[in-house]
Amino acid sequence: MSFLSLFIHYVWILNALIEATLLWLVARRRLYQQFPFFVLYLTWVFSKTVVLLAMDFMPSFTGDQYFYAYMIARTGVAALGFGVLYELFTKTLCNYPALRNLGSNLLRLSCVILLLLATALAWLVPAAGTGQRMAELYLLERTVSILQIGLLLFLFVFSRYLGVSWRSRAFGIALGFGILASVTLATTAIRSQVEPVVRSGVSDIIDLINEGALLSCNLIWLGYMLGFKSTPLPPPRLPDDDLGPWNQELRRLL
C-alpha cells in the first residue's frame, strides 16, 4: 500500500469516527424531529463508510461485489441528498406564508430546467476512459451533483434576495452539503472522462480530495450541531422615541 493510499484510509476512518459522533449528537439533541431526512442521510453515509471500509480491508470480497455495494451506497446518498434539499427548502420557507406556493413552484421549475441541463450534458459529453463501468457511474454522479448544486444555489439566491433568515443549523447543513456537492461535481467530471481500469496515482489523489471534502463537511456539521443554536437575534438597540409617526397613524385611524 502506497503512502497516499494509506493516508486516504486514515482520513476514511476519521470520517467514520466523526460521522458516528455526529449521529450520537443528533440523537442526543433529538434533531431527528427537526431534520429527519438529514439524520437519515447521516445514518446512510455512516453505514456506507463502515461497510465499504470493511469490504476494502477484507480480501474475501471481490472487485465486483465492491462495485455493486458502492453503486447501491451512492444511489442511496443521491436519493437522500434530494430529501435533505427538500427539507432545507421547507424549513427555510415554512415561516413565510407568502412564499410557500411561489417557492415550491419555482423549485419545481428549477428542478425541470436543471434536469434538462444535466441530461443534455450527459448526452453531449458521455463517459470516457478505459474503466467504462466506473466512468458511467461517475457520469451519473456528475448529473446528480449538477442538480443538487443548482437547487442549493437557487435556494441561497432566492432566500438572500428576499431577505429570508436561515436558522443556523439549516444554514450549516446547506453549507456542508454545498461544499460536498461542488467537490463531488469537480471530481466526477474528471473521473467520468479519465477513469482507468486499474487504480493509478490520479485516482488516489481524487479519492483523497473526495475524502478531504467529506471530512471538512463533517466538521462543519459537527461545528453547527455543537456550537450554534437557533437562538433569535437580540432586539436592535435604537435610541429615541417614535411619537411623530404614532401620532400620524392615530390621526389616520381616528
Partner 1 sequence: MTVSIALVICSIVVLVLLIRLARGQYIATRRGENPAGQIRSVDIEAFRNLIDPNEERYLRERLPAAEFRKIQRQRIRTACDYILCAAHNAGVLLSLAEAARHSPDPQVAAAAARLIDNAVRLRLYALQAIPKLYIALWLPVGRRSHVALADRYETMVRHVVLLGLRYPAGTISSAL
246 binds partner 1 (CB under 8 A): yes
78 binds partner 1 (CB under 8 A): no
**Which residues from 10-69 bind partner 1, rule CB under 8 A?**
none
227 binds partner 1 (CB under 8 A): no
With beta carbons less than 8 A apart as the criterion, state whether 7 and 207 touch.
no
Per CB under 8 A, the list member of 59, 63, 227, 244 interacting with partner 1 is 244
**Which residues from 139-168 bind partner 1, rule CB under 8 A?**
142, 145-146, 149, 153, 156, 160-166, 168
Report helix, strand or coil for 137. Answer: helix
Distance CA 47, CA 44 (A): 5
**Nearest Cα to 116, choosing from 143, 85, 138, 140?**
143
210 binds partner 1 (CB under 8 A): no
First to last CA, the chain: 85
Q: What share of the chain is helix, strand, coil (3-state, %, to 5)?
A: 80, 0, 20
Cβ proximity to partner 1, 16 vs 114, nearer residue: 114
**Which residues from 82-111 bind partner 1, rule CB under 8 A?**
95-99, 102
237 binds partner 1 (CB under 8 A): yes
Cell 479519465: give the residue.
194
With beta carbons less than 8 A apart as the criterion, state whether 77 and 48 touch.
yes
4 binds partner 1 (CB under 8 A): no
Q: Nearest distance from residue 247's CB to partner 1, in Å?
A: 10
124 binds partner 1 (CB under 8 A): yes
Q: Nearest distance from residue 13's CB to partner 1, in Å?
A: 25
Q: How would DSSP label each residue in 86-107?
A: HHHHHHHHTT-HHHHHHHHHHH
Q: Nearest distance from residue 223's CB to partner 1, in Å?
A: 11
Q: Which residues, 6+ apart, have CB-to-CB distance to 234 below 8 Å? A: none
Contacting range for partner 1; rule: CB under 8 A; set: 19-27, 48-56, 84-92, 179-187: 179-187
Contacting range for partner 1; rule: CB under 8 A; set: 16-24, 78-86, 198-206, 243-251: 243-251
With beta carbons less than 8 A apart as the criterion, state whether 214 and 73 touch.
no
**Nearest Cα to 206, choosing from 219, 192, 216?**
192
Distance CA 102, CA 176 (A): 26
Per CB under 8 A, the list member of 49, 192, 210, 218 interacting with partner 1 is 192
121 binds partner 1 (CB under 8 A): yes
Instruction: Provide the binding-site residues for partner 1, judged by CB under 8 A.
Output: 95-99, 102, 121, 124-125, 142, 145-146, 149, 153, 156, 160-166, 168, 171, 175, 178-179, 182-183, 185-186, 189-190, 192-193, 232-240, 242, 244-246, 248-249
